[in-house]
Structure 1
Amino acid sequence: MTNRRQFLQYSAAAAATSLTASSLLAQERPGGQDAPFKISLAEWSLHRSLRDASKGISNLDFPRLAKEEFGIDAVEYVNQFFKDKAQDEAYLTDLKGRCDDLGVKSLLIMCDGEGNLGDPDNNARTRAVENHYKWVDAAKFLGCHSIRVNAASRGSYEEQMKLASDGLRRLSEYAKPKGLNVLVENHGGLSSNGAWLAATIEKTQMDNCGTLPDFGNFYVTRGKTPEMYDRYKGVEELMPYAKAVSAKSHDFDADGNEIHTDYEKMMRIVLDHGYHGYVGIEYEGSKDSEYDGIKKTKTLLERVAAKLAKA
């Protein structure tokens, strides 16, 4: 077990890595020149299993499951599965050690439930920004390149852009000297409007503030008459700022194609923007088990990668 001094020394060493190098981690072309992208696994794909006590698995088991069950050696955590552990040195050391032993990379932490970074109330917005500090520090310790946050706000189109960009800028200022990126996912509300989110990121004027385009989260409003933003247009608008990509999947046809998203079309958009980093599997369907859904998504991505590598 590390003591507090060792923890801080390790963190300081990680911070010595430049932001540029951290950003390149997300953009590097893994697997040689013929591999257009590499596949990672988002922990949310296993959210039902992780919440089911009878399954007997926890966040600490996630790296092993990714490697042994699915043959995936890069992971994207979800903070709610270790909500009270962000500042637990022993826990983080254990998690990092398991990843190191398995040869699994920790890429990012998806952060929810820490307040709205675009809250109209300045005090609440400040609390939300500061609530994320511990996840920046945890991500740095684990060797991640980013945390993923939300840009929730209230008010008019312009007001929400101003508020969200303020919160994101302040959090990015904290993360930058530590070599971490702050990424926003299209995750409901105006954040699912690609034009709005792209303009909001631009307004932060921080090069470590970017996007994590998700193939499926383009519901601006839900309900009986949902407003849905065009997913291909949205990803196109978000890719200039992308430092990670989320391959959302729900349902598959008999040929193994995702029926809601044309993966080949979507991945052409991703690659056309020069992105050759990790694409995270995020299975959310219910017709297949989580394990089968992850495997089907991986097979689809591999098939698309093979085709696009020859293009």
Structure 2
Amino acid sequence: MNTSRRHFLQTCSAIGAGFLLPGFSQASLLEKEPLCKISLAEWSLHKALFDGKLDHLDFAKTTKQEFGISGVEYVNQFFKDKAQDQSYLKEMKTRAEGEGVKSLLIMIDREGNLGDADEAKRTQAVENHYKWVEAAKFLGCHSIRVNAASSGTYEEQVERAADGLRRLSEFGDQHDINVIVENHGGLSSSGAWLSTVMKTVDNPRCGTLPDFGNFAIDRNQDIWYDRYQGVAELMPYAKAVSVKTHEFDKDNPHITYDRRFNKETDLVKMLAIVMASGYKGYYGIEYEGSELDEYAGIRKSKEALMSSFYTVFFGC
């Protein structure tokens, strides 16, 4: 590694992976404004959490002390019965703040389909998310991440998902919390479909969380949406970004690939798309590989992400 590259990566580590992007002043660089900030998705440690080797309450501490990362993205499955437990949430908040870690969002699963064809079930799903909006507000997060699962024709799913998301976003607005949708299977993994949903909702509180790897519309039939096109289509609405990683190419540090489906992601190409959109939020590492253990995989993901930043910005 040459001296300038090493210096850049060391500087990134010191200031939260921040560097000067096109359009920003030299003053922002001198002030060390963290323009490219790295966070960690809790799912990266799901094996340790499910096995009881890591307590959810220690997630923020582990993120900061083990990986030098100062932003966290919680997963509701790891405190699913605590959304309205004020003492537990207060402990989460106290521990995160004590480590100098910023709570960014909560990823919500298993609370019903926001685009359910049954209107009563759709309403129930919307209301099931209310407690998570309130928990996110208490913790100091900016968003909850939700899914846009639905059924029916292409157009029916647009309308049904938009209806649920619109209603939840209106509730979120009352608490200054965004409702952001991840491409997470089915039609939600179509950038064209999900961007149409965003336009239909037409609420500034409703946005997207583009995941670099979740573009399987139907894995059983091997139907995939082009991931680069999908991210480009979702970035205009993005309030967070998920840097999904699996295994790593030993000959190219910018390539991560999912052996299960023989799919690869070029991080340099992805970051170029994200940066071109003018995005200024966090880049959330979500490691799901199996060749490295979770801790080593997160470290490798951070290294690959920072190296890719360097390559995009400096072109080498």
* Alignment TM-score > 0.5, same fold: yes
Tell me the SS of whatever aligns to 2:84. coil
Distance in 2 (alpha carbons) for counterparts of 1:205 and 1:229? 24
How far the C-alpha of 1:308 sits from its partner, in A, is 3.0
Within 5 A, what are the aligned runs for 1:50-69? 50-53=49-52, 55=53, 57-69=54-66
Q: Which residue of 1 aligns with 2:274?
A: 270
How far the C-alpha of 1:30 sits from its partner, in A, is 5.6
How far the C-alpha of 1:310 sits from its partner, in A, is 3.1
Asked if 1:42 is matched to 2:41, the reply is yes
Q: Does the 8 Å contact 1:36/1:271 carry over to 2?
A: no
Within 5 A, what are the aligned runs for 1:154-193? 154-193=151-190
- After superposing on structure 2, the runs of 4+ consecutive aligned residues of structure 1 that deviate more than 6 Å are none
Q: Does the 8 Å contact 1:192/1:218 carry over to 2?
A: yes
Please list every run of 5 or more consecutive structure 1 residues that lacks an aligned counterpart in the other structure: 1-28
Q: Which residue of 1 aligns with 2:219?
A: 222
Q: Which residue of 1 aligns with 2:260?
A: none
Distance in 2 (alpha carbons) for counterparts of 1:284 and 1:112? 17
Distance in 2 (alpha carbons) for counterparts of 1:86 and 1:106? 15
Q: Which residue of 1 aligns with 2:297?
A: 293
Q: Deviations over 1:3-53 (max 9, x none)?
A: xxxxxxxxxxxxxxxxxxxxxxxxxx9667455511100000000110002
Distance in 1 (alpha carbons) for counterparts of 2:56 and 2:210? 24
Asked if 1:205 is matched to 2:202, the reply is yes
How far the C-alpha of 1:309 sits from its partner, in A, is 3.4
Q: Which residue of 2 aligns with 1:24?
A: none
Q: Which residue of 2 aligns with 1:303?
A: 307
Single out whichever of 138-147 and 250-259 deviates more from structure 2.
250-259
- TM-score (norm. length: structure 2): 0.86
Distance in 2 (alpha carbons) for counterparts of 1:173 and 1:46? 32
Distance in 1 (alpha carbons) for counterparts of 2:311 and 2:174? 40
Distance in 1 (alpha carbons) for counterparts of 2:49 and 2:168? 29
Asked if 1:244 is matched to 2:233, the reply is no
How far the C-alpha of 1:58 sits from its partner, in A, is 1.6
Within 5 A, what are the aligned runs for 1:255-266? 255=251, 256-257=253-254, 258-259=256-257, 260-266=264-270
In terms of fraction of residues, the more strand-rich structure is 2
Please list every run of 5 or more consecutive structure 2 residues that lacks an aligned counterpart in the other structure: 1-16, 21-27, 258-263
Q: Deviations over 1:254-279 (max 9, x none)?
A: 14332311000000000000002100
Tell me the SS of whatever aligns to 1:114. coil
Single out whichever of 300-309 and 58-67 deviates more from structure 2.
300-309
Distance in 1 (alpha carbons) for counterparts of 2:290 and 2:279? 30
How far the C-alpha of 1:83 sits from its partner, in A, is 0.1
Tell me the SS of whatever aligns to 2:168. helix
Could you tell me which amino acid in structure 1 is paired with residue 183 of structure 2?
N
Q: Does the 8 Å contact 1:31/1:38 carry over to 2?
A: no
- TM-score (norm. length: structure 1): 0.88
Asked if 1:109 is matched to 2:112, the reply is no
Give the superposed CA RMSD: 1.4
Could you tell me which amino acid in structure 2 is paired with residue 234 of structure 1?
G
Distance in 2 (alpha carbons) for counterparts of 1:266 and 1:128? 33
Q: Which residue of 2 aligns with 1:7?
A: none
Asked if 1:233 is matched to 2:232, the reply is no
Q: Which residue of 2 aligns with 1:11?
A: none
Distance in 2 (alpha carbons) for counterparts of 1:95 and 1:219? 34
Distance in 1 (alpha carbons) for counterparts of 2:127 and 2:59? 27
Tell me the SS of whatever aligns to 2:114. coil
How far the C-alpha of 1:178 sits from its partner, in A, is 1.1
Q: Deviations over 1:271-302 (max 9, x none)?
A: 00000210000001111111111111100111
How far the C-alpha of 1:89 sits from its partner, in A, is 0.4
1:76 maps to which of 64, 73, 82? 73
Q: Deviations over 1:221-249 (max 9, x none)?
A: 011x3100000000000000000000000
Distance in 1 (alpha carbons) for counterparts of 2:290 and 2:201? 38
Distance in 1 (alpha carbons) for counterparts of 2:226 and 2:314? 28
**Highest relative contact order (Cα 8 Å, sep 6+), 1 or 2?**
1
